[in-house]
């Protein structure tokens, strides 16, 4: 026999809804990470500049005093840019660090030659503005990236291998070239990872905020189940497609007004939450559990047979009857009346709901704590609850004459 409840084995990766407070928290975390990345970028640039000074100072075959002085000045500028960032002048400090880094690469290539592969660092410097310029300034980002690319083209065209003013000795140049390639590769990989992190974090925030807005529009805040809107939309879609083979169940708590009056709305709200949790656990993922209003829930059940509907709802009624909630030292038991109807091709959503409402009315009239299920009805535009005698007349099956 086909099981009524089916477990979801795989449902992909769902977007987690984010409340406004969670969005602010994630943005604050993203800002802290961004500040850390900017600091690391400046520190790494400072380290590369100092290492370049050490390499050139160790070359006894050429006089690099002019370059060493310029590189030392670059180091001071990078230290100043780090201080600016720490003082809160992030944009100014970041732009200064990027410009110093580009000019430092150009000066190394002028001093030696393009053969030491120092210009390969410009690829990373062209990508860096995407992460270190955190303000929404696209023209500034593009301008800095274009500057890095322009310097690279200039080096490649105007400074061919061996055209430097004071090229390094052969052995030192070979080691320096190898180190530059490694640093450039690591730098580009680090920038790519940072860009991916920034993109993923921003996407998560945007999708999470959108998902939260969608849930606010379609979910009852108290119980966490659907509200009327998605159920009506689903019924309207099925009506347009002339789909039948579904059921609507209306679940109404018995004597709930007494609970609110005697024990307060806090107690009533807790009971509603317990009933909603029981409903979610009882029905399949494909079923739509909604709070229809007040103490009434509506469940839209697709793909169910008429013969199975009453046993399903009877088990639900018994499960809810097990709920007990202590309110003001009084243990309150819960019971519900359930009315259900099978949907029919040609019915409007209002007619489908009205048929289930008629069945619920019968359950209330017959003593509450009861399940009443009616079959497939004919299209009707009567929307209210009919008189009791009309309900009885409709519930009696027609006689079959031979």
Q: Which residues are part of the catalytic machinery?
A: 295
Query: What CA–CA distance (Å, rounded) separates 266 from 122?
Result: 64
Query: What CA–CA distance (Å, rounded) separates 375 from 373?
Result: 7
| Residue indicated by tokens 């494909």 | 286
Query: What CA–CA distance (Å, rounded) separates 192 from 128?
Result: 9
Buried (b) or exposed (e) across 300-310, using 16+ Cβ within 10 A?
bbeebeeeebe
Indicate the length of the chain as a whole number.
402
Buried (b) or exposed (e) across 195-232, using 16+ Cβ within 10 A?
eeebeebeebbeebbeebeeeeebbbeebebbbeebbb
Query: What CA–CA distance (Å, rounded) separates 178 from 175?
Result: 5
CA distance readout (Å), 147 to 49, 106, 119, 154, 320: 19, 11, 13, 10, 70
CA distance readout (Å), 253 to 32, 71, 205, 275: 50, 80, 39, 9
Nearest CA-CA partner of 80 in 42, 113, 114:
42
Radius of gyration of the chain (CA): 36
8 Å CB contact between 48 and 238 = no
Contacts of 47 (CB under 8 A, 6+ apart): none
Contacts of 221 (CB under 8 A, 6+ apart): none
Query: What CA–CA distance (Å, rounded) separates 8 from 159?
Result: 63
Interstrand relation of 296-302 and 246-253 (parallel, antiparallel or unpaired): antiparallel
Interstrand relation of 246-253 and 324-327 (parallel, antiparallel or unpaired): unpaired
């Amino acid at each position: 026999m086909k099981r009524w409840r089916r477990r979801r084995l795989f449902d992909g990766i769902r977007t987690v809804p984010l409340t406004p407070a969670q969005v602010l928290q994630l943005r604050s975390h993203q800002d802290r990470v961004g500040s850390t990345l900017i600091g690391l970028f400046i520190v790494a640039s400072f380290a590369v500049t100092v290492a370049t000074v050490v390499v050139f100072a160790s070359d006894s075959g050429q006089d690099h005093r002019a370059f060493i002085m310029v590189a030392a000045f670059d180091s001071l500028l990078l230290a100043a840019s780090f201080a600016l960032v720490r003082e809160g002048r992030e944009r100014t400090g970041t732009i200064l660090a990027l410009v110093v880094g580009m000019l430092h690469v150009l000066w190394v290539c002028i001093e030696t030659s393009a053969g030491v592969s120092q210009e390969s660092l410009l690829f990373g410097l062209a990508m860096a503005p995407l992460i270190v310029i955190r303000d929404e300034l696209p023209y500034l980002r593009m301008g800095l990236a274009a500057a890095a690319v322009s310097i690279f083209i200039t080096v490649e065209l105007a400074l061919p291998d061996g055209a430097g003013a004071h090229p390094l000795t052969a052995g030192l140049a070979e080691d320096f070239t190898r180190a530059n390639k490694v640093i450039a590769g690591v730098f580009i990989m680090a920038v790519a990872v940072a860009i991916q992190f920034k993109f993923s974090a921003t996407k998560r925030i945007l999708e999470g905020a959108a998902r939260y807005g969608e849930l606010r529009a379609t979910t009852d805040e108290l119980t966490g189940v659907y509200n009327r809107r998605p159920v009506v939309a689903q019924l309207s879609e099925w009506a347009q497609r002339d789909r039948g083979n579904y059921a609507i169940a209306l679940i109404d708590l018995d004597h709930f007004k007494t609970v609110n009056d005697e024990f307060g709305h806090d107690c009533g709200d807790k009971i509603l939450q317990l009933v909603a949790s029981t409903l979610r656990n009882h029905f399949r993922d494909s079923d739509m559990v909604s709070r229809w209003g007040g103490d009434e829930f509506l469940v839209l059940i697709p793909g169910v047979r008429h013969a199975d509907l009453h046993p399903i709802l009877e088990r639900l009624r018994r499960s809810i009857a097990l709920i007990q909630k202590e309110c003001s030292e009084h243990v309150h038991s819960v019971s519900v009346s359930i009315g259900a109807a099978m949907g029919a091709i040609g019915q409007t959503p209002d007619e489908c709901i009205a048929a289930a409402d008629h069945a619920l009315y019968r359950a209330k009239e017959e003593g509450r704590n009861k399940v009443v299920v009616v079959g497939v009805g004919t299209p009707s535009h009567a929307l209210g609850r009919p008189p009791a005698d009309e309900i009885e007349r409709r519930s009696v099956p027609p006689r079959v004459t031979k």
